[in-house]
């Protein structure tokens, strides 16, 4: 029997099971005859999941139904009338919603790390996205307001990332902080020379490198994030010059020299920095 006919028969058996035309034991017997083992295993898992969902719905009490539909109604009301709320109430809604996502994400991480991190990321993005939306609604489109919001988010991401042991969130916090710093430089340090741009960033790279060495005795995870941030800041002058400096002189040569110097430093100090991050 070819594969196409076998799949058609398996679909028919599945249809008989769902329509209750045949008892489950007969359907299992027919599946054993016509389906391969992988298909049988997948089909049983799907029916087991659906069965559990149906059983959970059938056992739900009236209070649980009321809470479910009440929550859905409340969310719909908030979404529809958010622009009519007082600014303080809007802030409370955004912060409260983000807090709920963070709480759920933290509890879910104990059972499923990926799902917990996804929920936590949603909460963090809600703070940033909700803040930007509020600034737009109230006409606060100046760069200072947006920079302040991003600075607040970066600080919160760093603190929460360290406290909750989420390295990617910790790193995103530092990247957001670097973006804020670059934005401020572009506003207040116009027409900078190439060596001035280097001076804006290289001391910060050294600060991150020293911080990575300093905190490695307490947290290897935090030390690794700081070391990676140090490596990124090392190349930030060239990226900044590419974006904000009109007459970036010998940019390619600067980048080649930075790569060579960075490689030499990493090789010569490999026995030290590998201890910080491993």
Query: Is 60's pLDDT higher than 50?
Result: yes
Task: Specify the pLDDT at position 166.
Answer: 87
Give the pLDDT confidence score for residue 55 in this predicted structure: 53
- Alpha carbons 149 and 156: distance in angstroms, whole number: 11
Lowest mean pLDDT among 9-18, 88-97, 123-132, 235-244: 9-18
The domain segmentation of the chain, as residue ranges, is 1-59
Average pLDDT over residues 53-82: 66
Please give the Cα distance from 118 to 84 (Å, whole number): 30
- Measured CA to CA, the distance from residue 117 to residue 251 in angstroms comes to 38
What pTM value is reported for the model?
0.69
Calpha distance 102→195 (Å, rounded): 43
Dump pLDDT digits (tens) for 4-23. Answer: 666 677 777 777 666 666 67
pLDDT (average), residues 262-278: 68
Overall average pLDDT of the 68-93 stretch? 76
Residue written as token pair 């007969």 = 26
Inter-residue contact 220 to 277 (CB < 8 Å): yes
Average pLDDT over residues 186-214: 83
Percent of the chain past pLDDT 90, that is, above it, reads 8
Which is more confidently placed, 185 or 262? 185
Q: How far is it, in rounded angstroms, from Cα 223 to Cα 214?
A: 8
Query: What is the predicted pLDDT for the residue at 38?
Result: 46
Residues in the chain: 278
So what's the pLDDT on residue 73?
Answer: 78
| Cβ-Cβ contacts under 8 Å for 20 (sequence gap 6 or more) | none
Mean pLDDT of the chain: 77
Q: What percent of the chain has pLDDT over 70?
A: 71
């Amino acid at each position: 029997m070819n594969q196409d006919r076998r799949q058609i028969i398996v679909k028919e058996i599945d249809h008989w099971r769902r329509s209750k035309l045949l008892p489950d034991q007969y359907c299992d017997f027919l599946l054993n005859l016509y389906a391969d083992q992988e298909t049988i295993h997948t089909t049983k898992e799907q029916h087991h999941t659906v069965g559990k969902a149906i059983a959970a719905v059938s056992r739900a009490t009236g209070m649980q139904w009321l809470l479910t539909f009440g929550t859905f109604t409340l969310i719909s009301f908030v979404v529809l009338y958010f622009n009519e709320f007082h600014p303080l109430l809007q802030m409370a809604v955004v912060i409260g919603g983000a807090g709920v996502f963070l709480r759920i994400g933290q509890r879910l991480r104990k059972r499923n790390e990926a799902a917990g991190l996804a929920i936590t990321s949603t909460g963090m993005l809600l703070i940033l996205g909700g803040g930007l939306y509020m600034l737009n609604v109230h006409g606060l489109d100046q760069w200072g307001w947006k920079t302040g919001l991003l600075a607040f988010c970066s600080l919160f991401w760093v603190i929460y990332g360290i406290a909750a042991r989420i390295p990617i969130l910790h790193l995103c916090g530092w990247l957001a902080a670097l973006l804020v710093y670059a934005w401020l430089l572009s506003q207040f340090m116009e027409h900078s020379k190439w060596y001035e741009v280097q001076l804006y960033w290289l001391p910060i790279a050294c600060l991150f490198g020293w911080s990575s060495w300093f905190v490695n005795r307490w947290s290897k995870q935090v030390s690794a994030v700081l070391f990676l941030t140090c490596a990124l800041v090392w190349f930030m002058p060239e990226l900044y010059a590419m974006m904000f400096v009109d007459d970036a002189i010998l940019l390619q040569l600067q980048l080649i020299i930075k790569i060579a110097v960075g490689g030499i430093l990493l090789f010569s100090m490999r026995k030290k920095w590998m201890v910080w991050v491993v």
